[in-house]
Amino acid sequence: MLRWFAGAMIFAVVTSSETFSQQSLQQLESMDQFGQALAAVDQIKRQKKFECVLAIGNRALCDCLARKLPVDTHFRSYALIVNQEQRGPEYGRLSAADRNIVDQCVTGPG
């Protein structure tokens, strides 16, 4: 009886250990995917900043916009958004929070 009980305990430990290992592996894969997604977002922001600097020529302003505006704001919109003399439809399409970000970046990038 004691052997049977010991065998059952070993089986339970091995089974739970395998389940734990699978869960840990899934968590690691999930964390790796999350890290890859963050790296992709960072790369998009760097690319937008680079293209913005080429188009506008103001590194500080482009850095501010790339860091603070949502990733889905296209960099081509930056020039239309920041043109203070002609605040056109691109600026108007931004949310109030994003317009506030643009205003802050334009008046004092950083």
Domain with 28 in it: 2-107
pLDDT digits (tens, 9 = 90+) for 11-56: 544 455 555 566 676 776 778 888 888 898 888 888 888 888 888 8
pLDDT at 8: 47
What global pTM score does this model have?
0.60
**What is the domain count for the chain?**
1
3-class SS letters over 56-83: HCCHHHHHHHHHHCCCCCCCHHHHHHHC
HSE-up of residue 75 (Cα within 13 Å, Cβ side): 20
Tokens coding 10:
């070993």
